[in-house]
Amino acid sequence: MATANTLEALDQRAIEILRANDKGGYTIPTAGLYPYQWNWDSAFAAFGFGTFDLPRAWAEVETLFKGQWDNGMVPHILFHQVDEGYFPGPDVWGCTGPIPSSGISQPPVAAIFIRKIWEWDKDAGHDHIAALYPKLLNWHRWFMTWRRERALDDAQGPGAICITHPWEAGRDNAPDWDDAMAGITPEGVAPYTRRDTSHVDADMRPTKYDYDRYIWLVQLGRETGWDEAEILAKSPFRVADPTMTFTLLRAHRDLLAMGQSLGQDVTEIESWIPDLEQAASTLWNPELACYDSRNARTGKFAGSVSNASFLCWLGGLNDDRMLAQFDRVMDAVPYGLASYDPESEKFDGRRYWRGPIWAVVNTLIGLGLEEQGHGDRARRLRNSTQDLIAEKGFAEYFDPTDGAPAGGDSFTWTAAVWLAWIRGGKV
Ligand code: GLC
């Protein structure tokens, strides 16, 4: 247990990390490994900055939306200044948006944190949300248009939200995608040199098998000129994902609240919510008794109890069926909520999204638990995350079996959620 003094010292350290990773209007996740602006990392960074510097919080999300494409898509990476230490860079993606970028998106958590920052000071935030609202609306509309699971049978009703690349879910190498990844034969991948494994141990990163397929999918998107209709028609990889579905459902609710406050016509958003609630319910895998991912090309469930399964509460579903899963996964390892079921043979405590603990996903789960009336579980999750960071530092992720810090260090989003969720706000 950390003392009050230690907690205050950690608050200061978290602020220092955010300041050090600040490149002027945007924040990099960590120096070396991730030298650009990432989409959902920035939304978390804004949440953290909002606890001690509101203008800087607004700047973070406003810079992100400067990269928005004409079709509404907000890219997962903005390459503000080319850095040779990262692969694949802008030349590999070959995109033509307003800022050099990747051609895929990331979980749309921005509206969730924009609303929170606005609520911390509504007068200061009014003009910011007025300017961001139409941009968020266009982005959400892009997901509703281009990322639905085209039901194999229309009678199945509205489709959940899909990813077209594992990086889009923000859970790069989760076992959720294994089946769809196996459907790719990565022929014609141009020779490349990975840069991630020069910053971090290879056993904490995705394998070469995965990387070849990541790059193959980037090449496919590039060949289509990032044309969504063509990608939909051609790509073997399309997976309905709880991360996307639950975060978008939640983000719609926050956008609705902001739209109403701005006196906008919100009928379109109002129609999306019940539609997506119904779609989210199709991710329930009865055999697993859990929300799961599904290969949209075959209709086959992944069989994954992952940390994304527990985002149902954040999405606004008051689903008590997930409580027993939560307790089981929490009890299975000493250090908290693993990103993948520790009792599964696919669990790997150090390898990125196949087991390690991610403080940011814990934050989303904790917020959802609290709102749905499960304060005891929210506290348990928050306390375990607090102890882990206090003991092991502001790492990118942690091994749930021994708490070992893994991946990059001095990590922006870990520092941000320390301030905004674990420590509960204003510093
Ligand atoms: C990794 C993570 C992704 C994150 C990015 C930058 O790719 O999987 O979720 O956005 O790093 O931190």
User: For position 156, what pLDDT does the model report?
Assistant: 62
**Do the beta carbons of residue 17 and residue 395 sit within 8 Å?**
no
Catalytic residue among 179, 396, 399, 409: 396
**Do the beta carbons of residue 45 and residue 60 sit within 8 Å?**
yes
Is 172 an annotated catalytic residue? yes
Å from CA of 150 to ligand 1 middle: 27
CA 182 to chain CA mean position, Å: 23
Task: Give, as one character, the DSSP assignment of residue 20.
Answer: H
Where is 162: in which H helix or E strand?
strand 162-163
* Residue 124 backbone dihedrals phi, psi, to 5 degrees: -65, -30
Does the Cβ of 41 fall within 6 Å of ligand 1? yes
Q: Show the tokens assigned to 182.
A: 């196996």
Considering just the CA atoms, what is the radius of gyration of the chain in Å?
Answer: 20
- Three-class DSSP labels, 48-67: HHCCCCHHHHHHHHHHHHHC
Give the ligand 1 atom nearest the CA of 353: 8
Is 196 an annotated catalytic residue? no
pLDDT in tens, the chain (427 residues): 678 889 999 999 999 999 999 999 999 999 999 999 999 999 999 999 999 999 999 999 999 999 999 999 999 999 999 999 999 999 999 999 999 999 999 999 999 999 999 999 999 999 999 999 999 999 999 999 999 997 445 556 689 999 999 999 999 999 999 999 999 999 999 899 999 999 999 998 999 999 999 999 999 999 999 999 999 999 999 999 999 999 999 999 999 999 999 999 999 999 999 999 999 999 999 999 999 999 999 999 999 999 999 999 999 999 999 999 999 999 999 999 999 999 999 999 999 999 999 999 999 999 999 999 999 999 999 999 999 999 999 999 999 999 999 999 999 999 999 999 999 875 4
Supply the pTM of this predicted model.
Answer: 0.97
Q: Show the tokens assigned to 140.
A: 């959400």
**Among protein residues, the one whose CA lies closest to atom 4 of ligand 1:** 170
User: For position 3, what pLDDT does the model report?
Assistant: 85
Pocket probe mutation, ligand 1, options 27, 33, 34, max atoms within 8 Å of Cβ: 34
Å from CA of 170 to ligand 1 middle: 6
**Do the beta carbons of residue 283 and residue 242 sit within 8 Å?**
yes
Å from CA of 77 to ligand 1 middle: 10
Does the Cβ of 358 fall within 6 Å of ligand 1? no
* Residue 239 backbone dihedrals phi, psi, to 5 degrees: -130, 130
Does the Cβ of 38 fall within 6 Å of ligand 1? yes
Per-residue burial over 35-55, b if 16 or more Cβ lie within 10 Å, else e, is bbbbbbbbbbbbbbbbbbbbe
